[in-house]
Amino acid sequence: MKRVALTGNEAVSLAMKQINPDVVAAYPITPQTEIVQMFSQYVADGQVDTEFITVESEHSAMSASIGASASGARAMTATSANGLALMWEVMYIAASSRLPIIMPVVNRALSAPINIHCDHSDAMGARDSGWIQLFSENSQEAYDNVIQAIRIAESANVLLPVMVNLDGFIISHAVENIDVLDDEKVQDFIGSYTADYSLLDKDNPITFGPLALQDYYFEAKRQQVEAMKYAHKAIPEVAREYEKLTGRGYGYFTPYRMEDAEVVIIGLGSTMGTAQVAVDELRKEGNKVGLLKLRVFRPFPKEELARMLAGIPVVGVMDRADTFSGNGGPLFADLNTVLYGGEERPELYNFIYGLGGRDINVSNLMEIYRYLLNARDGQTLNRVNYFGVRE
């Protein structure tokens, strides 16, 4: 293990280099482009022996990854924003075909207006596609999540694709000191991969992607639900092994100063790092505030979250994407569902923030905490709030 200064994109491409997948099919898009570039360099310099397909679109990146994965190869790609949206059709096919493809997504706002900066509308657009979705707070987590994703995806009974999210520019382009594993350690951890079924098993030909109508389609979908249940089990198992190797522990989420908290913020990605500082500041003033950084968005850790949040008077839910349902963002909707009917149900308030990369800093988060503290004390607060926007 050594400590190096890397951007998020560098950390992800280093993880990909150490994984040395059989096939990578990728297409450039800001802010993911550097991952493709750096990986191309690894290929050109012989530091990996991956076969790299320079596809002509993200749709083909995912389509080729599906072909490669169905052939028993360990396949990876990476994308952002509109690229992910273009893949949307085939992402469902990857999941339903039970192909353990790994895809870092450098989160960026979806057009229009066209915008290259961070929000989570890309990942949230694919939240129902059947992919496992992990979120990262910083480069270290992005690196660790990519390596763990291989094991999660390839776990027996899971066999689902995994998306590893990291915030565009905020993580992808910022340099941080992170701990990286030796190449051999990564190889030992991920192990070799042998698919149960492959198009290239000439003695056992197989039909992938058949037509299934009223009589069988539903069962295929139902089995995906079971696979997600297995993923829910596999994620902490893989994390425990990874912790043994690195000393860095990962769960479905990370609580921060939650012990006696009366006001808690929950959210995803880099903003949770900023929120930690806000918590520290507010705690200095004696406010009972805490933070819950969610790592696993799909499968949604419903029971664990319900337990963790039970009895907390006020919870602020941070969404860096909107659903345009008029009823708040995607995380807010899921948490409402999870907590509905539960005992000691917290009051939930939604803050939609940072769309198109709008900055959110420590004082912004302190402001949000203060709204929530006031709500705890009986002041009125809208259920859904758009924070930091001209209205």
Residue numbers of the site for other proteins (CB under 8 A)? 22-23, 25, 49-51, 53-57, 59-60, 63-73, 75, 89-90, 93, 199-202, 205-213, 216
Task: Please report how close the Cβ of residue 338 comes to other proteins at its closest, in angstroms.
Answer: 33
The DSSP bridge pattern shows strands 175-180 and 2-7 to be antiparallel
**279 contact partners, CB below 8 Å, separation of at least 6:** 256, 257, 289, 290, 291, 369
Residue type, 316: G
Task: Please report how close the Cβ of residue 126 comes to other proteins at its closest, in angstroms.
Answer: 16
Q: Do residues 158 and 299 make contact, with C-beta atoms less than 8 angstroms apart? A: no
Nearer to other proteins, 197 or 386 (CB): 197
Nearer to other proteins, 51 or 179 (CB): 51
Q: Which residues pair with 6 in a beta bridge?
A: 176
Q: Please state, as a whole number, how many other Cβ atoms lie within 10 Å of the Cβ of residue 174.
A: 15
Residue type, 180: V
Nearer to other proteins, 215 or 260 (CB): 215
Task: Please report how close the Cβ of residue 111 comes to other proteins at its closest, in angstroms.
Answer: 20
Nearer to other proteins, 12 or 90 (CB): 90
**48 contact partners, CB below 8 Å, separation of at least 6:** 16, 17, 20, 21, 39, 42
Q: Please state, as a whole number, how many other Cβ atoms lie within 10 Å of the Cβ of residue 334.
A: 18
Task: Please report how close the Cβ of residue 133 comes to other proteins at its closest, in angstroms.
Answer: 22
Task: Please report how close the Cβ of residue 199 comes to other proteins at its closest, in angstroms.
Answer: 4
| Nearest 10 degrees: Cα torsion 13, 176, 107, 86 | -20
Q: Quickly list H helices, 302-361.
A: 302-309, 330-339
Nearer to other proteins, 205 or 286 (CB): 205
Q: Do residues 57 and 107 make contact, with C-beta atoms less than 8 angstroms apart? A: no
Task: Please report how close the Cβ of residue 13 comes to other proteins at its closest, in angstroms.
Answer: 18
Nearer to other proteins, 200 or 389 (CB): 200
Nearer to other proteins, 60 or 155 (CB): 60
Task: Please report how close the Cβ of residue 223 comes to other proteins at its closest, in angstroms.
Answer: 13
* Structure token digits, residue 354: 């940072």
